[in-house]
Amino acid sequence: EPEVTQTPSHQVTQMGQEVILRCVPISNHLYFYWYRQILGQKVEFLVSFYNNEISEKSEIFDDQFSVERPDGSNFTLKIRSTKLEDSAMYFCASKTSGRNEQFFGPGTRLTVL
Amino acid sequence: SQELEQSPQSLIVQEGKNLTINCTSSKTLYGLYWYKQKYGEGLIFLMMLQKGGEEKSHEKITAKLDEKKQQSSLHITASQPSHAGIYLCGAGVPASKLTFGTGTRLQVTL
């Protein structure tokens, strides 16, 4: 069964460094999302992406964040200058146009030191 | 903004027992999603409800939507250790962001 994949599974970085989290959505899906979950807290929406542009973003998704679909299969989240409070589990999700459910990847655990 | 409150926050049940988890929304529900998360892992989609009064089942898990009460319930019959995890309800209109509840941690004892 097709699934969303994410790499790396765990990323450790120093504060101020740039990180790129990668996602491969399910192949026929057209809607893409990033969410994050700080340890012990709710899953929070960051951004949604459709037709090669951001369709919606949250207050969390400030100028330090960007998303890109560099080719036909990858969907990336870049954090330009990481902060301690960016430490969280980052989930990618995708959705096809014919159905409403979003399918989530296994997540990337980002640790900022 | 929409808030989703889940109850209970945590639950310990003996294997074979039934249980119910509730999710109450502060606003009108246009779509209600149930996901399961194992600690430190991704979210596994269980089912989605859209219409008032709708009820769906998958194996031993049944979810219902009460549109008037802005509430959904998830019922597990004859629980098994494999049901252990964190159950999350999420709400959103199609293609838009999902807002998630606080989660219910379920433990199933032998």
Give pLDDT tens digits for A67-76.
Answer: 999 887 899 9
Count other C-beta atoms under 10 Å from residue A7's C-beta.
14
Chain B residues within 8 angstroms (CB to CB) of chain A: 31, 33, 35, 40-45, 48, 50, 88, 90, 94-103
Cβ(B21)–Cβ(B87) below 8 Å: yes
Q: Which residues of A touch B41 (CB under 8 A)?
A: 106-107
**pLDDT score recorded for residue A91:** 97
Strands B104-109 and B10-14: parallel
User: For chain A, which residues score pLDDT lower than 50?
Assistant: none
Question: What's the maximum distance between 2 C-alpha atoms anywhere in chain A?
Answer: 42
What pLDDT is attached to residue B62?
Answer: 97
The chain A residue lying nearest B92, using CA atoms, is: A100
Could you tell me whether strands A10-13 and A108-112 are parallel, antiparallel, or unpaired per DSSP bridges?
parallel
Q: Name which of A91, A95, A100 is nearest B43 (Cβ-Cβ).
A: A91
CB–CB contact B94 A104 (8 Å): no
How far apart, in whole angstroms, are the C-alpha atoms of residue A93 and residue A32?
6
Could you read off the pLDDT tens digit of each residue along chain B, which spans 110 residues?
A: 889 999 999 999 999 999 999 999 998 888 899 999 987 788 999 999 987 778 999 889 999 999 888 999 999 999 999 999 999 999 988 788 999 999 999 999 99
- Sheet containing A5-7: order of strands: A5-7, A19-24, A75-79, A65-68
Q: Say which of A4, A100, A109 has its CB closest to residue B94.
A: A100
Chain A residues close to B95, C-beta within 8 Å? 31, 48, 50, 55, 95, 100
Reported as a single tens digit per residue, the pLDDT across B54-78 is 899 988 999 999 988 899 999 999 9
pLDDT attached to residue A8: 96
pLDDT at site A104:
95
